Amino acid sequence: MAWNVTRRVFSTLIGTVLVALPLAAQFPAIVVNDNRTPAGAGVQNGVLTLNLEITKGVWHPEAETGEAMGVYAFGEAGKKLQIPGPTLRVPQGTTMDITVRSNVDAPATVHGMHSRPGSDSDVVIIEPRKTRHFRFVAGVPGTYLYWAVTPDGERGDRRVVDSLLNGAFVVDPPGGSVDDRIFVLERWVGPTRTAINGKSWPFTERLNYEVGQKVHWRIVNASDLSHPMHLHGFHFQLDGEGDGEHYKTYVDGKQPLEFTQNVEIGNTFEMTYTPHEPGRWLYHCHRIPHMRLPIDIEPADGLVVDKHKHAQHNMDDEYMGMGGMIMGITVTGKPSIDTTTMWQPRKRYELTVGTQAGDARFFQLGWRDLGANNKPHVSKALSGPPIVLVQNEPIEINVVNKSKEATSIHWHGIEIESYYDGVPGWGGLGDKKTPAVQPGESFTVRMIPPRAGSFIYHTHWHDAGQLTGGVFGPLIVLKPGEKYDPETDKSFIFSQSPAEPFDGAMTLMNGSAQPHLIELKTNTKYRFRMMNITPSVNNLRVSLLNGGMPVQWRVVAKDAVDKEYPVKQLADQEIAVSETFDFEYTATTDQELTLVGLAPNNGRRAVQTILFHGGPPTHTD
């Protein structure tokens, strides 16, 4: 018994000393895995032999001299730990011969070490300090993942030491891999840190391409939340997508075209795009908490010892007001449009950003055609007025800041020159960088919208206050010769009221939780444009209901791309943050419908009553 007491005292003393030591002295370093080099020594006689380990190490999500976190990670035996874990990449039909050694004092449940298609219930538990063997044949070509979890790291809304135990698993068609890149999305909980291939902006990898170069990416969501991944400047082609266990590759010529792809927990997708304009662009998750400056972490339980003081919202520093799940892309080459010389805009507009009287949190936007002698259209509630432009028409928009803080407007989904894209401190070409619009100043945007459809204009200031305060609105681009009829063309943009955390915010539709009644005509075809610009409601559920049951509408476009074969479906659609959808609906009888935008995470909903009858509409909102 004396020995047991002595051992407990000794263990306590050792534990105290370890906690007092810097993390670097307690655990091995974890290195970033850019997923360029497959794990192992290569396939030999149709077999890939690989030895992996699970070990606690030190992860630096930003600079190597910045924050240090003690987390679990995968690594090849005899090599450094990696985040994300070693890349599994083999041709179809390869036999995978893998051993996994757990060097942690808790059982580890390993997912994904099996042939595809498969089931996520096909898991193996590795007891503490034990080794398990996996042998299976790589199945259907596609993008998958493997991951592990321990009892002290169950995924959920708390700090987890194994939320980074994951890696990409790619099965190539016979004949070898294509020229592509793999990017794994990760999230560490409590407070949140998000990363792409092991790093957070501005320390994520900077990507360089040329105008006209074909770019192919594979995206793997190894985190515990879904992510609406948005590309600035270009539409991209969705080549394939999967749920981690099954994979669907789209037939050539039938790939969807979009500017945002939502990737659910454990899901993956492939995308291709060809940049046609030089400049600096962003690729990022559009959830505000995943793209703004991170919150400082306080030491707790020995997990975090070294802290890094983050820069403030300053466009001159390396953060540029942003942080998290963001990558920077630089495209070099000759521009297709030169707006610096011989520029002749067909129309000039003005967008003013001011604050509403009585509450500095609420902004008021004004929009007017400088060539017409009309009063500006102004914000209704917490939403800016619709902006209507014409495809292929050269225009200028003078953004005037009448508020008390700097701002910038991003023309979401519009293929535009980088300098005018609206990302202050980053956008632009060469030494020319997009400025923030300071209070009392203005910035003139030049653009020639190349695509007709539904877009969004919104602030690209990342503290969320401007977004929830109403600095956004619908952006509609019409085809040449097409006329905009606000009586039959209805925009519904969903947002959230000012509140943090966002779970406490109200869901708003066109800036209001209870919009005014709309009366519309029967036997008339309406176009409903739906847009989600909430800070974080990525699974917003939009439904058009009759007596509590969805009616049927026709899906005609997503992300400003017309559907080749519009289909009728139940009017019950999930819309991710930054996505836009267009629907057509015709009421053949008098009816009272309810349009609902529901945020499932907190149950808050915005409700719009729409009354269809044979008479003319008496009110439009």
Q: Find the mean pLDDT for residues 49-62.
A: 96
The answer on 227 and 123 residing in a single domain is yes
Q: Which residues, at least 6 apart from 148, have a Cβ–Cβ distance to it below 8 Å?
A: 54, 72, 74, 108, 109, 110, 111, 162, 165, 166
- Per-residue pLDDT tens for 406-449? 999 999 999 999 999 999 999 999 999 999 999 999 999 999 99
412 or 159, which is more confident? 412
Domain annotation covers residue 9: no
pLDDT band at 320; cut points 50, 70, 90: confident
Asked whether 560 and 259 are in contact (CB, 8 A), the reply is yes
Tell me what pLDDT residue 529 has: 98
Cα separation, 196 vs 214, in Å, equals 21
The DSSP output letter for 11 is H
The answer on 210 and 82 residing in a single domain is yes
The answer on 112 and 144 residing in a single domain is yes
Does residue 540 carry a pLDDT above 50?
yes
pLDDT band at 361; cut points 50, 70, 90: confident
- Per-residue pLDDT tens for 434-489? 999 999 999 999 999 999 999 999 999 877 899 999 999 999 999 999 999 999 99
Closest alpha carbon to 165 in 326, 284, 24, 57: 57
Last residue of a domain, one of 461, 483, 505: 483
Which residues constitute the domain of residue 589? 485-621
Last residue of a domain, one of 457, 483, 509: 483
The answer on 100 and 67 residing in a single domain is yes
Does residue 17 carry a pLDDT above 70?
no
Name the average pLDDT for the chain. Answer: 90
Asked whether 383 and 389 are in contact (CB, 8 A), the reply is no
Tell me what pLDDT residue 305 has: 38
Q: Find the mean pLDDT for residues 202-219.
A: 97
pLDDT band at 302; cut points 50, 70, 90: very low
Tell me what pLDDT residue 359 has: 77
Domain annotation covers residue 444: yes
The answer on 479 and 403 residing in a single domain is yes
Domain annotation covers residue 306: no
The answer on 551 and 409 residing in a single domain is no
| 501 three-state secondary structure | coil
Q: Find the mean pLDDT for residues 329-353.
A: 90
Domain annotation covers residue 308: no
Asked whether 426 and 316 are in contact (CB, 8 A), the reply is no
Cα separation, 274 vs 212, in Å, equals 6
The answer on 489 and 476 residing in a single domain is no
Does residue 87 carry a pLDDT above 60?
yes
Cα separation, 32 vs 25, in Å, equals 19
Q: What is the DSSP string of 234-284?
A: --EEEEEEE-SS-EEEPPTT---EESEEEE-TT-EEEEEE---S-EEEEEE
Asked whether 562 and 250 are in contact (CB, 8 A), the reply is no
The answer on 353 and 220 residing in a single domain is no
In whole angstroms, how far apart are CA 449 and each of 43, 193, 259, 476, 484? 49, 36, 15, 10, 16
316 or 598, which is more confident? 598
Tell me what pLDDT residue 157 has: 44
Q: Find the mean pLDDT for residues 201-207.
A: 96
Is the previous residue joined to 117 through a cis bond, with omega within 30 degrees of 0?
yes
Domain annotation covers residue 358: yes
pLDDT band at 21; cut points 50, 70, 90: low
Q: Find the mean pLDDT for residues 491-498.
A: 96
The answer on 515 and 372 residing in a single domain is no
Tell me what pLDDT residue 373 has: 77
The answer on 361 and 275 residing in a single domain is no
The burial of 237, by beta-carbon neighbours within 10 Å (0-12 exposed, 13-18 middle, 19 or more buried), is given as: middle
Q: What angle do CA 369, 445, 207 make, to 5 degrees?
A: 150
- Per-residue pLDDT tens for 162-176? 889 999 999 999 886
What are φ and ψ of residue 263, in 5° steps? -120, 115
The answer on 574 and 454 residing in a single domain is no
Cα separation, 308 vs 63, in Å, equals 9
**This prediction's pTM:** 0.93
Cα separation, 497 vs 507, in Å, equals 7
CATH of the domain at 581: 2.60.40.420
- Count of domains forming the chain: 3
Domain annotation covers residue 189: yes
The answer on 386 and 326 residing in a single domain is no
Domain annotation covers residue 291: yes
Domain annotation covers residue 3: no
- Per-residue pLDDT tens for 550-583? 999 999 999 999 998 888 999 999 999 999 999 9
Last residue of a domain, one of 443, 462, 483: 483
Q: Find the mean pLDDT for residues 272-289.
A: 97
The DSSP output letter for 288 is G
Does residue 621 carry a pLDDT above 60?
no
Listed range (61-75, 93-107, 278-292, 529-543) with the worst mean pLDDT: 61-75
